[in-house]
Amino acid sequence: MRILNIIDHILDKDSGNVVLSQKEIPKDNLEISTYVEKVIEKLWKSEYLEVDLSRVPMLEQFWNSSDDFQQITEKFALDYFEAIKVNDKIPGGDLLFFNMELDDLSRVIGIAKLDYTQRYIHNVEYDDDVLVNNIVKNTSILPSPGQGVKNMVLIDKENVKIREQQYTGTSGKWLMSRDFLNVESMPSKVSTDVKQIKKSIQKISEKYDDEDDFAITSKTQQAIHDSLETDGVIDNDYIADVVFEQKEEAKAEFKDQLAKKAIEPVVSVPNADYFEKKYERQKIKLDNGIEINVPISLLKNRDAIEFETNPDGSTSVVIKNVGSLKSNF
């Protein structure tokens, strides 16, 4: 990655002012380059929403006007501060703007709201010419890049990736995409759709299926993972076929429930790799306190793990063909 432009503006809610930087940060600053790269990588490895750039006129104008980076970032920072200052739950912070050339020579523009956190630091003071090392609270600590950024957009020539947090204050709920960027009909989060899919399957399976909740959940997760791995989407027709097999009434009811919840038959997944990795393992909790983390690909492999029902109705979990044991302490 190569920085083309980078500038930081301060949103000081305590004083009610925006401190606009009058000059860009030097692009050869290695520390800030590393910081921005890690912020971008963290976004790519997390859940985000994606919309066409044409659906966000404010950001489309930003992209088309990026030749005057200083001026366009100043206007954005002032407008953003005006939008958040009335909400008491939105903290102050820095707005970091960067124009980057990626390794494939494509260009992206990022806007990251860096919320302040509180940390204690040492402070060298003097008391009647006597040096005193004091400990004070610093309320303007920026997040480390490994923490991830709660509110961020990443723009390319066609799309906008959006990661955002909802704030709820006395003035109501606030979302960057809706209340500042004015995006109409934002897609729902993939994780939210998955929760609704699982909930619908569990409810319908109680009516049509004799299998226990664990078996249904395992089949659902396996189907979601396989759909992501094969096509990069969540295909609900495929999931219905896997989970409900020949039960056509159950499939029809499942599709009807999803339609009522405004979930598409095929859910687009902008970051399929993230979700594929997320669902490739299943965490099994036993009521005796034991937890097992099993690769989804091995759940049906009886040479690796088997679930046996005992005469008294309890279940035994048999783990097979283990070459070695390792304890991570």
DSSP state letter for 126 = E
Q: What mean pLDDT is reported for the chain?
A: 90
- C-alpha to C-alpha distance for 10 and 12, rounded to whole angstroms: 6
- C-alpha to C-alpha distance for 256 and 251, rounded to whole angstroms: 9
Parallel/antiparallel/unpaired status of strands 151-155 and 130-141: unpaired
* H-state helical runs in the chain: 30-44, 57-64, 69-84, 176-179, 190-208, 213-231, 236-244, 248-260, 272-278
Indicate whether 235 pLDDT > 90: yes
Q: Who has greater pLDDT, 126 or 209?
A: 126
Q: With 0.95 as the threshold, say if the pTM is over it.
A: no
pLDDT bucket at 326, cuts 50 / 70 / 90: confident
What pLDDT score was predicted for residue 208?
82
- C-alpha to C-alpha distance for 107 and 98, rounded to whole angstroms: 11
Long-range interactions of 75-81: CB distance < 8 A, separation 24+: 76/111, 77/9, 77/11, 77/18, 77/20, 78/18, 78/20, 79/180, 80/11, 80/113, 80/180, 81/11, 81/18
Q: How far does Cα 79 stand from its chain's mean position?
A: 25
Mean pLDDT calculated for residue range 298-321: 87
DSSP state letter for 302 = T
Indicate whether 151 pLDDT > 90: yes
Mean pLDDT calculated for residue range 172-201: 92
Q: Who has greater pLDDT, 194 or 127?
A: 194
Classified as helix, coil or strand, 320 is coil
pLDDT in tens, 103-118: 888 899 999 999 988 8
DSSP state letter for 310 = -
What pLDDT score was predicted for residue 127?
87
Mean pLDDT calculated for residue range 315-325: 88
Indicate whether 159 pLDDT > 90: yes
Q: Who has greater pLDDT, 162 or 118?
A: 162
Query: Per this entry, what is the length of the chain?
Result: 329
> Which residue in the block uniquely carries the two structure tokens 């020579």?
105
> Which residue in the block uniquely carries the two structure tokens 């009522």?
260
Indicate whether 239 pLDDT > 90: yes
pLDDT bucket at 152, cuts 50 / 70 / 90: very high
Q: Which residues contact 286 (CB under 8 A, 6 or more apart)?
A: 292, 317
Indicate whether 203 pLDDT > 80: yes
pLDDT in tens, 63-92: 998 788 999 999 999 999 999 988 888 888
pLDDT in tens, 264-287: 999 999 989 999 999 999 888 888
What pLDDT score was predicted for residue 215?
84
What pLDDT score was predicted for residue 155?
96
Query: What is the DSSP code string of 133-178?
Result: EEEEEEEEEPPPGGG--SEEEEE-SSEEEEE---EEETTEEE-HHH
The amino acid occupying position 315 is T
The amino acid occupying position 64 is N
Terminal-to-terminal C-alpha distance of the chain = 37
Of 56-70, 137-151, 208-222, the range with the highest mean pLDDT is 56-70
Cβ neighbours, 10 Å, residue 77: 23
Kindly report which listed range (13-17, 144-148, 155-159) carries the lowest average pLDDT score: 144-148
Kindly report which listed range (9-23, 43-57, 296-310) carries the lowest average pLDDT score: 296-310
